[in-house]
Amino acid sequence: MAIWLSRLAVDRWRLVEACKPGEGADAEPTVLISETAHGPRIEAANDAGLAAGARPGMRLADARALCPGLKTAPSDPPGDRAFLETLALWAQQWGPWSALDEPDGLLVDVSAVAHLFGGEARLLADAQAAFVRRGLTARLAIAPTAGAAWALAHFGPERAILDPPRDGEGDHAEHGGGGLPHTPRLAESPLRQPCGLPPPRPGEDMLADLPVAALRLGDDELTVLRRLGLKRIGQLGEIGRDALHRRFRSRSPEANPLLRLDQLLGRVAEPLLPVVATPDPLVQRRLMEPIRHRQLLDQVLADLAADMARELESKARGARRLELGLWRVDGEVIVRSLEFAGATRDPAHIARLFAGKLDDVDAGFGIELLRLRAPWTEALALAQGDFERRQSEGTSLAECIDRLTVRLGEKAVRRPVIHASHIPERAQRWQAPLASEPASQGQLAFHQRPLKLLDRAEQIAVLYATPDGFPQRFRWRGQVHDVARVEGPERIAPEWWREKSTTRLRDYYRIEDDEGRRYWIYRHGLAGDGRGGAPDWFLQGLCA
């Protein structure tokens, strides 16, 4: 069964606005827009908007010219997709498997299911009614193949049903008088016999009258077919396979009408990716007596963590994120979430980290329900407990990082990684400590870099022989340093592909003063480079 939610974006917008079709906000012409490089573009329009002349794909400015009072709302493709996923799970009430058909369709496998609803027509009526109840516009069709169902849902009659072939019926249809205009040609095609393709099936006439767009082809292929004068699916059969094969050689089905035709007729298998619901591990405790004291809360939390550890262990998974919901007697919900550096299911660790987050919980008249959910889990194999492990052996790295991040914040615990850039402050980036290191080029061994880099290079006053002599003496933070030894300059040009053309180059010097203190300083620009006045000097790094 194919379900086409023809107005998905608009329907969802209307459900969010909580208004019935044609009432409230929906009564005014409204369009859903997305920002593009050429200004806002209309993604979808409601009925009033369509009546006013707005069409999907138009620029908003053009539509405003037609209808000055057009209201806009931002479109939300990720939200639509997430909604479609929940709908796919919901649609499994009509069949055991359902798959997404992006951007606005669903496919449900209803093989051998229809009799439970009293026949295919009743199944469709039931589904149609369910979608109407949810306030969604849907067109439905049932066919033996996903491709045919899709074609009928989009371009066929309302609630079309294409019967599957019964044994032996195909032969009659082949020679039957009321057959298709193209079937005899297909059957006589020389390609057809050696391949051992099955004979054409009844119901193909229903498909043969559909436009070629029902083959789920890309825009380019549709244009080619239109130029060739091929408008109906039936016409494709009339010109022979080899002629089409010469023109469409692509192996991807979207670009090859022959493959799509075979999928439509069930000659080629078309696997679907089913949507399978994976319920998040969830444990909860209802309390007979609402708790108001921290000590009891800690106890219940420890119990919950132990339950969660058992739950995760049974699935051989570890939690990366946990959400704790505390339901108060007066209906308030307090939510605390926790993210781990590595997958874990150690109850003591979980309870300890949550304890640090519960200090500001206001229990009010008491907390009566605690629920712990793990929305993000990772596989974590069952491991045997270490028999000889003592308490004094310390924590693991992931546990330690969890404790640090919970107290100091996500941004405080990081690891430096190399980034591809010449500019020293950009050559290092910071990432989460346990994330894998990005691939990088080898570093040049003859470049000596300082041990520490100041967050902002500090301006210094330097005595040097203009225009580009060695620095001889400089003042930094109120103290004068006499330069004893110097190496340089190492010229680092600005990254012209990302900076303004007036950015000045830098000449770096590694210097040592008379007391042995080593610094990394640079002259910002050259005298007379036309990008400012006399060059400034900066101290950027402290060498070991």
Partner 1 sequence: MDLSAFLKAGELAPLGESMPRWRPGLGAARHSEVFASGREASGAAAALALALDETAGRLDERSVLWVQDAAALKLGGRPYRPGLPEQLRHRLIHVVAKKAEDLLFALEEGLRCRDFAFVIGELAGNPKALDLTSSRRLGLDTERYGVPLMIVRLDAGRDLSSARMRWQVRSAPSAASRWNAFAPGAPAWHAELFRARTHAPGEWILRDDGHGLAADRLAATQRTEPPDHGDLAVAAGSRSLAAG
Given the rule CB under 8 A, which residues bind partner 1? Answer: 392-397, 399-401, 403-404, 407-408, 411-418, 424, 427-428, 430, 433, 437, 443, 447-455, 476-477, 479, 484-487, 510-512, 515-518, 541-544
Quote the least distance from Cβ 417 to partner 1, whole Å.
Answer: 7
Nearer to partner 1, 273 or 544 (CB): 544
Quote the least distance from Cβ 30 to partner 1, whole Å.
Answer: 48
> Are the C-beta atoms of residues 294 and 331 closer than 8 Å to each other?
no
58-66 contacts, C-beta under 8 A, 24 or more apart: 60/31, 60/33, 63/31
User: Is there a cis peptide before residue 489, judged by omega within 30 degrees of 0?
Assistant: yes
Q: Residue 119 is which amino acid?
A: G
Quote the least distance from Cβ 438 to partner 1, whole Å.
Answer: 12
Phi and psi, residue 372, nearest 5°: -115, 125
> Are the C-beta atoms of residues 36 and 42 closer than 8 Å to each other?
no
Query: Is the four-CA dihedral 487, 489, 493, 494 of positive or negative sign?
Result: positive
Quote the least distance from Cβ 517 to partner 1, whole Å.
Answer: 5
Phi and psi, residue 508, nearest 5°: -90, 140
Quote the least distance from Cβ 297 to partner 1, whole Å.
Answer: 23
Nearer to partner 1, 252 or 479 (CB): 479
Nearer to partner 1, 27 or 543 (CB): 543
Mapped onto helix, strand or coil, the DSSP state of residue 222 is: helix
Quote the least distance from Cβ 402 to partner 1, whole Å.
Answer: 10
Nearer to partner 1, 293 or 415 (CB): 415
Nearer to partner 1, 258 or 539 (CB): 539
Total residues belonging to the chain: 544
Whole-angstrom distance, CA of residue 540 vs CA of residue 424: 9
47-53 contacts, C-beta under 8 A, 24 or more apart: 47/21, 47/22, 48/22
Nearer to partner 1, 290 or 450 (CB): 450
Nearer to partner 1, 223 or 448 (CB): 448
373 vs 320, 355, 395, 405, CA distance in Å?
Answer: 11, 16, 25, 20
3-state secondary structure 307-338: HHHHHHHHCCEEEEEEEEEEEECCCCEEEEEE
Quote the least distance from Cβ 471 to partner 1, whole Å.
Answer: 12
Nearer to partner 1, 6 or 431 (CB): 431
Quote the least distance from Cβ 475 to partner 1, whole Å.
Answer: 12
Quote the least distance from Cβ 360 to partner 1, whole Å.
Answer: 18
Whole-angstrom distance, CA of residue 240 vs CA of residue 50: 41
What is the secondary structure of 55-73 as a DSSP string?
Answer: -TT-BHHHHHHH-TT-EEE
Question: Beta strands of 465-528 (E only): which ranges?
Answer: 471-476, 479-492, 506-513, 518-524
Rg (CA), the chain: 34
Nearer to partner 1, 376 or 430 (CB): 430
Nearer to partner 1, 129 or 408 (CB): 408
Quote the least distance from Cβ 414 to partner 1, whole Å.
Answer: 6
